[in-house]
Amino acid sequence: MSNLVIVESPSKIRTVKKYLGKDYEVVASAGHIRDLPKSKLGVDIENGFEPFYENKRDKAALIKELKAQAKEADTVYLATDPDREGEAISWHLAHVLGLDNDKAVRVTFSEITKNGIETGMAHPRKLDMDLINAQQARRVLDRIVGYKLSPFLWKKVRRGLSAGRVQSAVVRLIVDREKEINAFQSQEYWSIDAKLRGTSSKRQFPAKLAEVNGKKAELKNKEETDTVLGELENSDFIVSTIKKSVRKKQPAPPFTTSTLQQEASRRLSFNARRTMKAAQELYEGVEIEGQGTVGLITYMRTDSLRVSDEAQKAAAALILERFGKEYLPSKPRVYKSKTNAQDAHEAIRPSTLTITPEIAKKTLTGDQYKLYKLIWERFMASQMENALLDAVAIDIKAGNCLFKSSGFTVKFDGFTKLYEESADNGEEGGALPKLTEGEKLTVTSLTGNQHFTQPPPRYNEASLIKAMEEYGIGRPSTYAPTISTILDRHYIERDQKQLKPTALGDVITELLSDHFERIVDTKFTAKMEHQLDEIEEGKIEWVKVLEYFYKDFSKSLDKAEKNMEGKRVKVPNEPTDIVCELCGKHMEIKIGPYGKFLGCEGFPECKNTKKIVSEASGKCPKCGGKMIARKSKKGKPFFGCEDYQNCGFMTWDTPVADICPSCGKTMFKKVGKKGRLYCAAESCGYEAPEQDKSNES
């Protein structure tokens, strides 16, 4: 063996080996082989924040094997992922294997394709100490916060809790949003909506009241609305102005990590963890029929919108072939990244455009295919021509009131022929009938409609990731792990797709806000992220950043210990009507290390606990018992009989209140394109389309 290539993930080995050939041996480090110790802080705060790394115990056999292979090799190439974490893993590998840091041993692959690997191997370099120091600074910062702050929470709330530099700021966002919602006072307002018809068309069209007496229409109650409606009763509705224009609609840029997670959440209902798992698999390489193992997308952790010239040329050729020259812009599109974006990697795009989703579908898993199709279509659309809309805006005079109506038709579909961002799909439109200025319209209906202002919505994963990006909290690689962490630690919980704080999350956030304001402050957290970027760029020393942070943090910790001496904070429990069968007191909903459970309010005298059971509609079609809502290990909801051990009935479909007209048993709802109601009783078989259901409860 003359050349050893060490990649990060075992799933890359086969793909990289295929393109490098027999003169290269490819092995994987399977992530970090060295880290800070688990049992202690592992950072010498008094002497320049020097970290003490140790080989990971579970990697002992692998390290021994890697050392033997490195000793036999003429050249060792460190080909871990092309980011801070990957650079640090290579640095630790170099240290453990005794490699010379000054030799050009580091290679990076922006895509796991023949071209990507050959390009990477043709440009070996030295290890980048700026990247490594940025990772070290982040690791030490997070270690200090975790190991210094967590024991404080154990003493003041309960054991097993933890705090994190990024996660605590994210929980604060969710807690603050919930406070806004709870404090919101809804205000009544009214609108007046008209349905009108022109003289030359029988088709009616909508219009909204926009102005009264030359001022913006602001109707606060029914009385004001009825007054205006009364004035309009005998008014003629006359078209006063018609403005026609051609509106350009530009495609969305190719994906970054953040926008990919947001769009996958909106369009595919993937959570961030699920999105990144599928993206990692697509990047590292999947089997494609007739082509072997191929990396289908570029590196999936990026906030850059840059696209290589080669990719643009390939897209242009495919657009010409598939759609025709009218769908190709006169010059390639260039998208500007955000000012704080790291430009080391391209935007997320297909590595080989000719591997279309249709070709790849045969060998991809369901999640891989859905995500690849999304990435492929988004990138191709980003390189296509604008859509053109014939827009019409009409002003309609009615007495002292002004109504407005607008509509559009598609003049040229452009990029929308292939893909349209989900955020744009709700756009109102449609053609208006042909009208002329001065034309008198017929009023087919005129109604006042009551509305109430709505509180800000809770975050979902898509909107939370967007907020994290806008506030500058975390980096592309940390969005998904941060959300997973605060869910796993029960600081927040999902309510359907919405995220809300638990009582534990409220208590922890309040405690940290009172004593460690900077830890939960989004601006300070963003400033620290910016300083990590500056370390990566070689602008500041990593130890200076740690000194700046720790000086204030240690003072806050000492002050908090003093102010909270002898005090503990209780996490409030949620009362229920369930009676404890052991002592007769009521059970409460409590939050433990493994989530919510029922515990007796008489604790510690009575230690009775139970799992929380959510009863569903209807009865078991097999034995007539109660139906219970449950969740799989992956969090997917399903329904089963309360006596599942003896009965065995379970289903992914939702039981409803409707009764089967054939046998009288509970009906179930199957969702999807072929959604239907059906009876699950073995001897029945009745089913009907969902819209045809007869019984409502």
Give 694's pLDDT tier (boundaries 50, 70, 90). Answer: very low
| Nearest alpha carbon to residue 477 among 43, 89, 213, 124 | 89
Rounded Cα–Cα distance for residues 124 and 221 (Å): 71
| Nearest alpha carbon to residue 641 among 659, 626, 662 | 626
Which position among 19, 77, 283, 299 bears the catalytic label? 299
Rounded Cα–Cα distance for residues 316 and 2 (Å): 41
Q: Is a pLDDT exceeding 50 seen at residue 534? A: yes
Q: What is the mean pLDDT of residues 254-260?
A: 95
Q: Domain 137-183+457-563 carries which CATH code?
A: 1.10.460.10
Which residues sit opposite 666 in a β-bridge? 659
Q: Is a pLDDT exceeding 80 seen at residue 86? A: yes
Active-site residue, 372 included: no
Contacts of 674 (CB under 8 A, 6+ apart): none
Contacts of 562 (CB under 8 A, 6+ apart): none
Which pLDDT score, from 0 to 100, does residue 635 have? 64
With b for 16 or more beta-carbon neighbours within 10 A and e for fewer, the 47-82 pattern comes to eebebebebbeebeebbeebeebbeebeebbbbbbb
Q: What is the mean pLDDT of residues 410-431?
A: 78
- What DSSP string runs through 403-471? EEEEEEEEEE-GGGGT---GGGTT---BPPPP--TTPEEEEEEEEEEEEE--PPPPPBHHHHHHHHHHH
Class of the domain covering 257-382: mainly alpha
Q: Is a pLDDT exceeding 70 seen at residue 464? A: yes
Residue 299, classed as helix, strand or coil, is: coil
DSSP character for 346?
P
| Nearest alpha carbon to residue 335 among 298, 297, 375, 304 | 304
CATH fold of 3-127 reads Rossmann fold (3.40.50)
Dihedrals φ, ψ of 82, to 5°? -85, 60
Question: If you average pLDDT over each of 6-15, 379-388, 613-622, which comes out highest?
Answer: 379-388
Q: CB burial class (10 A; 0-12, 13-18, 19+) of residue 135?
A: buried
Which pLDDT score, from 0 to 100, does residue 674 have? 66
What single-letter amino acid sits at 295? G
% of the chain at pLDDT higher than 90: 71
| pLDDT, tens digit (0-9, with 9 covering 90-100), for 64-77 | 999 999 999 989 99
Q: Where are the domains of the chain?
A: 3-127, 137-183+457-563, 188-250+387-452, 257-382, 574-610, 614-692
Q: Is a pLDDT exceeding 80 seen at residue 424? A: no
Q: Is a pLDDT exceeding 50 seen at residue 692? A: no
Is there a contact between 441 and 197 (Cβ–Cβ < 8 Å)? yes
Mean pLDDT for all residues in the chain = 91
Rounded Cα–Cα distance for residues 401 and 391 (Å): 23
Give 211's pLDDT tier (boundaries 50, 70, 90). Answer: very high
Domain 188-250+387-452 coded CATH 2.70.20.10? yes
Helix axes 13-20, 114-121, angle to 10 degrees: 70
Is there a contact between 282 and 477 (Cβ–Cβ < 8 Å)? no
CA angle, residues 65, 66, 71, in degrees to nearest 5 = 105
Rounded Cα–Cα distance for residues 325 and 321 (Å): 8
Give 340's pLDDT tier (boundaries 50, 70, 90). Answer: low
Residue 676, classed as helix, strand or coil, is: strand
DSSP character for 156?
H
H/E stretch holding 92 reads helix 84-97
Q: Is a pLDDT exceeding 50 seen at residue 291? A: yes
Which pLDDT score, from 0 to 100, does residue 540 have? 95
DSSP character for 476?
T
Pairing mode of beta strands 440-452, 237-249: antiparallel
Rounded Cα–Cα distance for residues 207 and 402 (Å): 10
Which residues sit opposite 667 in a β-bridge? 679
DSSP character for 516?
-
Higher pLDDT: 342 or 548? It is 548
| Nearest alpha carbon to residue 353 among 386, 316, 385 | 316
Q: Is a pLDDT exceeding 70 seen at residue 341? A: no
Which pLDDT score, from 0 to 100, does residue 1 have? 55
